Amino acid sequence: MSGGVDSSVAAALLEEQGHDVIGLSMQLYDQSEGQTSFGSCCSIDDLHDARRVAAAINIPHYIVNFERQFDERVVSNFVAEYAAGRTPLPCAHCNSDLKFATLADRAQAFGADAVATGHYARIERDVASGRYLLKRGVDAGKDQSYFLFSLTQTQLACALFPVGDRPKDDVRDYARRRRLPVANKPDSQEICFIPDNDYRSFVTRSVPDAARGGLIVDERGRVLGGHEGIHRFTVGQRKGLGLAASGAGGGMPLYVLALRPADRQIVVGPKSSLEQTTLTASGVNWIAEEPDRPLRVAAQIRHRHEAAPATVRVVERAGPSTRLGRAEVVFDAPQIAIAPGQAVVFYDGDAVVGGGWIENASW
């Protein structure tokens, strides 16, 4: 229970259905000195909201301390990825490494059979194979299946998404009918641990060396300007390059094409150079059976990206010491701004086939 309307309604629905519900909220940072500017959610006010909802629907509520785990598995990864010239996806790590790993272990200590969250996604059981299927939420504008691609069959077996089968408007209407105190609370739009959504300053404070400057060059290696840190840029970025005054690009808009952290270089060029057809992904998790031949899918490379027709091929199978492998994805048509560090998720209709972390892209 994050203190938002989605997880609050999830708890209320389960309570209404007669389940024995226990509310758990994650404390992710030290609030002993009254800190309230950690980010747009996960604050002490949100924990209070969760407790108020639990009281309103008459269920017990506990706060579990995940400060160490959150810092190790989510925040440290976020900082390291930006410092290395990649674009991280902290929500996916938080879901797989905390909510459905560590939190599932905590839930067992309460004697609970399942972990329910307010995610807009659905889980079904395939009768033929016996495997659990992860599907998009019915509200296309709120679907969060992209962030859940790394869930294992074991985790899916004990996961519940009570709001995944209804539109957001219905969720709020239900919250109002149940008179939940968060019924009209705005959704969080920012990364929960970044104050003021200023991730650049956050990374600089965490890794001062990340602010070392370097050069901005074009595709031929010609120097166009300078920068104050690789972490301030992402693939596909157009604004904030600081090149307009120099006339770089001859009046043509320039975009970040690639980041070269070893050389401290930002490579820029025209939008057409952002178009790429092939990517390689590591840490690939297959929710469906791992394919033994090239598989036709719709591949999604960003949360708000429209999944595009592609063929995915396993290039390294999961070994005995790991369940994760590598795959190559070839799109039917070039895609714009494939960013290393983001996730690529494979869909068959509205079902998640699998997904992994983008390593690199090419033509």
pLDDT digits (tens, 9 = 90+) for 313-343: 999 887 655 567 999 999 999 999 999 999 9
Confidence of residue 41 (pLDDT cuts 50, 70, 90): low
Q: What is the mean pLDDT of residues 160-175?
A: 98
Q: How far apart are CA 347 and CA 43, in angstroms?
A: 35
Coil/strand/helix, residue 247? coil
Tokens at 2, concatenated? 């994050």
Contact between 261 and 85 under an 8 Å Cβ cutoff? The reply is yes
Q: How far apart are CA 310 and CA 277, in angstroms?
A: 9
Measured in residues, the chain has a length of 363
Q: How many helices (H) and strands (E) does the chain have?
A: 9, 16
Confidence of residue 175 (pLDDT cuts 50, 70, 90): very high
Q: Is 94 a catalytic residue?
A: yes
Q: Is 42 a catalytic residue?
A: no
Return the amino acid letter for 197: N
Q: How far apart are CA 188 and CA 90, in angstroms?
A: 15
What's the mean per-residue pLDDT of the chain?
90
Tokens at 148, concatenated? 């859940």
Q: How far apart are CA 311 and CA 114, in angstroms?
A: 35
Question: 245 pLDDT exceeds 50?
Answer: no
Q: Which of 41, 42, 91, 192 is catalytic?
A: 192
Q: How far apart are CA 205 and CA 199, in angstroms?
A: 10
**pTM of the predicted protein model:** 0.91
Cross-strand bridge partners of residue 346: 299, 354
Q: How far apart are CA 189 and CA 313, in angstroms?
A: 34
Q: Which of 42, 91, 94, 158 is catalytic?
A: 94
Q: Under the phi-then-psi rule, with left for phi > 0, alpha for psi from -120 to 50, and beta for the rest, what region is 251?
A: left
Q: What is the four-CA torsion angle of 106, 195, 78, 71, rounded to 10 degrees?
A: -40
